[in-house]
């Protein structure tokens, strides 16, 4: 396993030179985790920063009724967790592998040593935190004030931005394949709804040629231009 290659994918370390990456390799142990593994939870009193070297991780919280509400899905290169005064906005949340993933961890002592040697990493973490909080605030605003359909459109737009095929040469009018397998129930958990409602809305969006299933795997595809237009129009 090429640990240097994996480290270069991490947002925090992406701008570092090869020699600097080699210094941090020993303090970022890798662990392969199966799909559905709980990485962290509010009950784990740990100050750990987690790095996603490959795979995807779901951040969620439990509602008062015990239902899971998905806050975010993080992909390769993202970080989450909490170290002392540094937090990525994922405290008091559960973190679970969405698929088989490669995760590494940095404890407080190791991280403080790293940022003392390279302060730019601390600045990079602040940028990541600011971006994450902005996304969560936007999500909560849609959850509070938008119709169920608009919440679904917003969610599909976010999933397209994160997991859409980024092949060059694609025009705005093309269908975009999502590089993530997600069920109707999982979509419902991400928008505070129920599976039956999501299924009905997806059928409606399919009739409007905004979403469709493709291939044997049933991968979801989104028409970017129509989606953005519908998101603006639906009130």
Judgement on whether residues 128 and 163 belong to the same structural domain of the protein: no
| Strand duo 57-62 + 211-214: pairing | unpaired
Does residue 134 share a domain with residue 53? Answer: yes
E strands, 108-206, where? 175-177
pLDDT of res. 208: 94
Q: Where among 120, 142, 164 does a domain terminate?
A: 142
Residues near 207 by beta carbon (within 8 Å), at least 6 away in sequence: none
Residues 136 and 220 in one domain: no
Residues 130, 159 within the same domain: no
Of 142, 177, 208, the residue that ends a domain is 142
Final residue of a structural domain among 142, 172, 190? 142
Tokens of 52: 């996603």
Q: Indicate whether 114 and 186 sit together in one domain.
A: no
For position 86, what pLDDT does the model report? Answer: 52
- Regarding whether 135 and 105 lie in a shared domain, the answer is yes
- Mark whether 123 and 167 lie in a shared domain: no
Residue 94 belongs to domain with CATH number: 2.60.120.10
For residue 51, the model assigns a pLDDT of 84
pLDDT score for 168: 47
Residue-number span of the structural domain to which 173 is assigned: 146-233
Burial 204-226 (b: 16+ CB within 10 A, else e): ebeeeebbeeeeeeebbbbbbeb
78 and 178, same domain (yes or no): no
Q: Could you identify the residue written with the tokens 């784990």?
A: 44
Q: Answer yes or no: do 162 and 67 share one domain.
A: no
Do both 93 and 173 map to the same domain?
Answer: no
pLDDT by position in tens, the chain (length 235): 455 455 545 666 655 655 666 666 655 667 899 999 999 888 877 778 888 888 999 998 888 888 888 888 988 888 888 765 555 555 678 999 999 998 888 887 888 887 887 787 777 777 777 777 787 788 778 777 788 999 999 999 989 988 887 664 556 568 999 988 888 998 998 888 899 999 999 999 999 999 998 765 668 899 989 999 998 875 5
Can you give the pLDDT at residue 70?
86
Task: Count structural domains, the chain.
Answer: 2
CATH number, residue 197: 1.10.10.10
- Neighbour-count burial of 54, counting CB atoms closer than 10 A to its CB (0-12 exposed, 13-18 middle, 19+ buried): middle
Same domain, 65 and 165: no
| One domain, residues 91 and 130 | yes
């Amino acid at each position: 396993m090429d640990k240097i290659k994996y480290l270069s994918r991490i947002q925090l370390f992406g701008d570092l030179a090869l020699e600097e990456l080699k210094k941090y390799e020993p303090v970022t142990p890798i662990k392969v985790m199966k799909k559905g593994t709980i990485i962290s939870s509010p009950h784990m009193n740990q100050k750990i920063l987690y790095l996603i070297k490959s795979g995807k991780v779901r951040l969620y919280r439990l509602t008062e009724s015990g239902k899971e509400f998905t806050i975010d899905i993080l992909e390769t290169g993202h970080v989450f967790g909490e170290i002392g005064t540094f937090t990525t906005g994922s405290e008091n949340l559960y973190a679970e592998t969405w698929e088989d993933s490669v995760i590494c961890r940095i404890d407080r002592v190791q991280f403080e040593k790293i940022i003392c040697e390279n302060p730019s990493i601390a600045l990079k973490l602040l940028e990541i935190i600011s971006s994450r909080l902005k996304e969560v605030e936007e999500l909560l605003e849609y959850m509070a004030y938008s119709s169920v359909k608009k919440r679904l459109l917003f969610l599909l737009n976010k999933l397209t931005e994160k997991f859409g095929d980024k092949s060059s040469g694609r025009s705005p009018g093309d269908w975009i394949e999502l590089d993530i397998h997600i069920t109707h129930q999982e979509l419902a958990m991400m928008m505070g709804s129920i599976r039956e409602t999501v299924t009905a809305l997806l059928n409606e969006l399919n009739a409007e040629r905004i979403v469709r299933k493709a291939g044997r795997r049933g991968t979801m595809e989104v028409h970017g231009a129509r989606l953005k237009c519908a998101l603006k129009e639906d009130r």
